[in-house]
Structure 1
């Protein structure tokens, strides 16, 4: 398959310019797959109503079939076509955080979407992305767009179009290059199907922000306890992993440097994921800086790009610093834990 790539200036006037977006939207209407930028990561989109189109997402990514997809909309009126909103708190969150990095799980109207989108469940996850290219593309396509991250399943999610090209060139119909994404980690997923709202995946909207808007919110225990089965099927799989094994180290910079030296003495090439504040503390084969510890949103924004960058270094092992699990730090540590396969070294 010849994958078309269109470059779009996300700061331009999209409503009257860029026939490239119309071309990409036509592919979506023709039940093909198109990658596009959102404020979180690049998504791989297809017509959520057409099973053949949705099947192409699973095929391109190598995605497990029991992993549901998030449906993206450009207008709140689209929601009523396929979901039932029977929660006042859900409505409050939509008003407060849409468009934005928040996905809400709601009851799905029977027969309104392909069952491949919901993975056979009676619920649907939906969000409205806060990115002008994504919104314009969905608007021009005229259909709800199912879109997981536009990467090979298990690899770090793409935050640049070149990441998508690396993973999916020749596997999908098109890529809309709208430049780097901003938030850097996927949307927060909240379910309203079990009474009290439950966070099924931490992301760009924090627990603290949610509770300011609607009161108490639970966190699915399966997110933090690997012995428990997560409520969201996709959260049970390893994601975001670089090619070399990775471990999170809970210790001082001196502890991490000792581990680096120990592994190097055994003939291993070692990398370390750190921040601007600690970059000069390590003597490793590859030192990658990921934002600042005093601004965890910068760590989130650069995380996947940094994880991917290790693949060019021929490493045998990677150590990553740990981060406070508060605010967006919950999402950062969740992604690092998945990337590490829950491998943690406490020193």
Structure 2
């Protein structure tokens, strides 16, 4: 929006903006979030762009209720017990993804898990219910700045990037949600929050001593999806057996182009999908054209550097 509203928009208007692929300032009990349709990679890419110095971290999918959560993620009895004890509320559960169509690859950082929660803020749930799907909503701050806990601060940070903004007053919790992973045999605390370790252990027993799944949580240094094939970045040629992920007009096979028109947002939205699709062809390697390092390109290059480093 060119002029951020000083008076908040209605949940219905916010839902309309989300359906149109726009960003929305969303109040939660923890901090104000910058929300987008979780199923649309192009919309999710706008979040990384709006936050200024983006990195591909997994984002939390916010849903209206436990039934919606279980349509997206595979919940076992432990996850269900945690949800019943602390939802709606500031607890995020990381579980295996069931329906990747509802929370796209870009939102999940290419992982086979999904971070999900039901917020306690009435206006947040009103927006999500009116929208009718999952929304991702990392904190509505520009990178490197404190998370906004008031409507005015959220508007100042990222309001000009949004199609709607909902005023929910001051955030009750003021810190981001507690994140726990429920994967395999262990339950681990990935990020502390206002729901304490002791409260969690009272429901599901002792937590794992170390959080080996820390990369699955937002707000942590992450190891992103890396293909089996070696990744070669800043490629100016293609070696035998390689697939080139091109960027820009006339660069490589259009089928494998991150963006034939050199659009960084399109490249970000296509990145995880094309890496996975290329890897399925069992190439000798995946070469990637040079991506500009400005704006959203910073995130793309960060992601590609990590993917290349994984394979030595």
TM norm. shorter chain > 0.5: yes
In structure 2, the residue matched to 1:157 is 147
Distance 1:118 1:48, change over 3 A: same
Mapping of residues 78-93 of structure 1, within 5 Å: 78-85=68-75, 87-93=76-82
Mapping of residues 223-302 of structure 1, within 5 Å: 232=217, 234-236=219-221
In structure 1, the residue matched to 2:84 is 95
In structure 1, the residue matched to 2:2 is 2
Q: Return the alpha-carbon distance in structure 1 between the equivalents of residues 174 and 193 of structure 2.
A: 9
Distance 1:105 1:146, change over 3 A: same
Q: Return the alpha-carbon distance in structure 2 between the equivalents of residues 233 and 102 of structure 1.
A: 13
How much does 1:209 deviate? 0.4
In structure 2, the residue matched to 1:168 is 158
Coordinate RMSD, CA, aligned: 2.2
Distance 1:48 1:231, change over 3 A: closer
How much does 1:173 deviate? 1.9
Contact 1:65–1:119 (CA<8 Å) still a contact in 2? no
Residue 120 (structure 2) aligned to one of 130, 146, 158:
130
The alignment partner of 1:31 has SS state of coil
Mind listing any 5+ residue stretches in structure 1 that lack a counterpart?
9-18, 224-228, 238-347
Residue 217 (structure 1) aligned to one of 192, 195, 207:
207
In structure 2, the residue matched to 1:143 is 133
In structure 1, the residue matched to 2:61 is 71
The higher relative CO (CA closer than 8 Å, separation ≥ 6) is in: 2
TM (norm. structure 2) is: 0.66
The alignment partner of 2:183 has SS state of coil
TM (norm. structure 1) is: 0.60
How much does 1:48 deviate? 0.4
Mind listing any 5+ residue stretches in structure 2 that lack a counterpart?
223-312
Q: Return the alpha-carbon distance in structure 1 between the equivalents of residues 153 and 85 of structure 2.
A: 31
Q: 1:84-134: CA deviations, max 9, x gaps? A: 11x211110000000000000011135322111101001000000001000
How much does 1:218 deviate? 3.0
Q: 1:268-308: CA deviations, max 9, x gaps? A: xxxxxxxxxxxxxxxxxxxxxxxxxxxxxxxxxxxxxxxxx
Contact 2:201–2:207 (CA<8 Å) still a contact in 1? yes
Mapping of residues 29-68 of structure 1, within 5 Å: 29-62=19-52, 64-68=54-58
Q: Return the alpha-carbon distance in structure 2 between the equivalents of residues 200 and 90 of structure 1.
A: 15
Q: Return the alpha-carbon distance in structure 2 between the equivalents of residues 220 and 234 of structure 1.
A: 17
